[in-house]
Chain A
Amino acid sequence: MESVSGVVIEVAELVKTYPGITAVDNISFTVRQGEIFGMLGPNGAGKSTTIECLEGVRQPDNGRIRILGLDPKKDGFKLRERIGIQFQSAALPDRLKVWEAIDLFATFYKRPLDCHQLLETMQLTEKRDAYLAKLSGGQKQRLFIALALVNQPELVFLDELTTGLDPQARRAMWSLVQEIRAQGKTIFLTTHFMEEAERLCDRVAIIDHGQIIALDTPQNLINALGSENRVIFATAQPVDAAALEAIPGVHRVEQIRDRVVVYGPKDGLVGRVVNALEANGIAFDSLQAEPPTLEDVFLSLTGKEIRN
């Protein structure tokens, strides 16, 4: 198998076991240059193990990995010169200052970025003299991304980038990732946030129990579900589910306190639900139609909801 041009990551039949558990169970995929590729799955699904095998910090039991055409096991030092890594759990001494951390990591590489420029891009200029212990979660995460970018990498690994961040910081992080990609870099990320995968990734591999159970663009994954939409409304009255289930095409009806969810085919669902409600004299409020999301894809593929 020769390295195809434009392919940045090649993984074939990757297996990694720990005592008593197969963390990664025979997975294969490729990532193309310039992609944002996401690995989505619940905690413990094997995402971090996979990403760490790709980074070369963990040795797989079986399988073949090529990153930028290099074998992470044999060419580790050469590879680490060309990739950027942000770990899910890593730390630096609390008594280190922001600029010192960047300055230190810059010395590890042959062609580092200018420290000022990097601080500017990461919006850390004001914090350059702050101790790491004094940074907020979002600032610390930005610093770790800065360290992952200091060597001008061709490929960046981001493991659970936004875990522990508030929604605002999370959104800021997403636009940052898009900016990084706009510079022509390839991004491989793992997440257990559906919305993150859906909004950010060009392609998503859904992983559960160490296996890839689906791999496509978020839209194709959703489309593959069929065209099931849902209509949600609120009502103060008791609702006879049978009356709604009798609507042509409706698959099922869920009631959660005063909210009712009607599942059915996309075309004409809203109109039919509204008609049925009026025909039955049910007063309703804040009615809305929702297209399916990756959450539904995950639910239908695994039969369970992803937990944060």
Chain B
Amino acid sequence: MSVFFTLLFGPLLLIMFGFIFGNEPQAIFGGLGHLDISVPSYTAVIIGITGLTTLPITTATRRENGVLRRFAASPLRPLTYFLADMLAPFVVTTVGILLLFLLGITVYHVRFDGSWLNIILAVCFSTLTLFVFGYVLVGLLPTARAVMIVGNVLIIPMNVFSGALIPLEVLPDAVRRVSTFFPLTHVVTLLRGLWFAESWSAHLHEVAILLGVFVVGVVIIVRTFRWE
């Protein structure tokens, strides 16, 4: 069920908001249509939901049920576990994103000026960073229930205020200032930039912040993650 949801969530968002807003060029978006900027932005929504809810809730539930404890009693290396644990959600997330791209480009004819290589790199990098963020929640919170609550409490405002679901251009200035504290905002800015052929060097700020989240997150995980 959750696989199905993750795969189709992006395309569904696009279809629903496509009905509402269409894709007429608008001055506020610098001549781009709503859907043009939505495709790279919704990517962040998918990454955020998997990273902050699906992945950490699954892991915390496994910890609670004693599954992780059983793994910890084997010579399985923790890094191997984390990589294997991330693989399935990573594949599902990236395939879901691909479906969103394909629908946007082929059916809605949204503008895509960037390079596939850059977009793929940015999606992978952002996904890994948000996954790390998710494991931080598991490390810091005692139960699966707490992870579910905090994950949702974080992801909902992030989706609404980071420009992921609603373009930053239409949000009030105050919201835009607060939203710089959300990692997801920087994912949105990076992906939108690369989508419209801006260079990596124009987004060193976002890359540095996400890299910081990644590194600090890994340190927190190493210090706090317990197998039971």
- B75 and A80 form a contact (CB under 8 A): yes
Chain B interface mostly: loop
B window 54-92: CB within 8 A of A:
62, 65-67, 69-70, 72-77
- A108 and B70 form a contact (CB under 8 A): no
Interface residues on A, range: 10 to 19
- B69 and A108 form a contact (CB under 8 A): no
- B70 and A92 form a contact (CB under 8 A): yes
- A91 and B77 form a contact (CB under 8 A): no
- B74 and A90 form a contact (CB under 8 A): no
Interface residues on B, range: 10 to 19
- A109 and B69 form a contact (CB under 8 A): no
- B67 and A55 form a contact (CB under 8 A): no
Contacts of B74 in A (CB 8 A): 80, 105, 108-109, 151
Q: How long is the Cα–Cα vector from A154 to B78 in the complex, in angstroms?
A: 24
- B70 and A91 form a contact (CB under 8 A): yes
- A87 and B70 form a contact (CB under 8 A): yes
Contacts of B65 in A (CB 8 A): 91, 93
Contacts of A85 in B (CB 8 A): 73
Contacts of B70 in A (CB 8 A): 87, 90-92, 147
Contacts of A12 in B (CB 8 A): none
- B75 and A57 form a contact (CB under 8 A): no
B80: nearest chain-A partner, CB-CB: A108
Contacts of B67 in A (CB 8 A): 90-93
Contacts of A105 in B (CB 8 A): 74
Which of these, B62, B66, B75, B227, contacts A108 with CB under 8 Å?
A: B75
Contacts of A91 in B (CB 8 A): 65-67, 70
Which of these, A57, A89, A108, A147, contacts B76 with CB under 8 Å?
A: A108
Q: How long is the Cα–Cα vector from A108 to B66 in the complex, in angstroms?
A: 18
A84: nearest chain-B partner, CB-CB: B73
Q: How long is the Cα–Cα vector from A55 to B62 in the complex, in angstroms?
A: 21
B81: nearest chain-A partner, CB-CB: A108
- B73 and A57 form a contact (CB under 8 A): yes
Taking the closest CB of chain A, its distance from the CB of B61, in whole angstroms, is 9
Contacts of B76 in A (CB 8 A): 108
Contacts of B69 in A (CB 8 A): 57, 87, 90
- A81 and B73 form a contact (CB under 8 A): no
Q: How long is the Cα–Cα vector from A80 to B72 in the complex, in angstroms?
A: 9
Q: How long is the Cα–Cα vector from A85 to B76 in the complex, in angstroms?
A: 14
A77 within 8 A of B: yes
Contacts of B227 in A (CB 8 A): 57
Q: Max chain B CB contacts within 10 Å: which of A77, A90, A92, A109?
A: A90
Interface mask (A52-83 → B, CB under 8 Å = 1, otherwise 0): 00010100000000000000000001101100
- A87 and B66 form a contact (CB under 8 A): yes
The 4 closest A-B pairs by CB, nearest first: A90-B66, A90-B70, A108-B74, A85-B73
30 contacts between A and B (CB under 8 A): A55-B73, A57-B69, A57-B72, A57-B227, A78-B75, A80-B73, A80-B75, A81-B75, A87-B66, A87-B69, A87-B70, A87-B73, A90-B66, A90-B67, A90-B69, A90-B70, A90-B73, A91-B65, A91-B66, A91-B70, A92-B67, A92-B70, A93-B62, A105-B74, A108-B74, A108-B76, A109-B74, A109-B75, A147-B70, A151-B74
In the complex, besides A87-B69, A109-B74, 19 extra interface pairs with C-beta distance below 8 angstroms are A55-B73, A57-B72, A57-B73, A57-B227, A57-B228, A77-B75, A78-B75, A81-B75, A87-B66, A87-B73, A89-B66, A90-B66, A91-B66, A91-B67, A92-B70, A105-B74, A108-B76, A147-B70, A151-B74
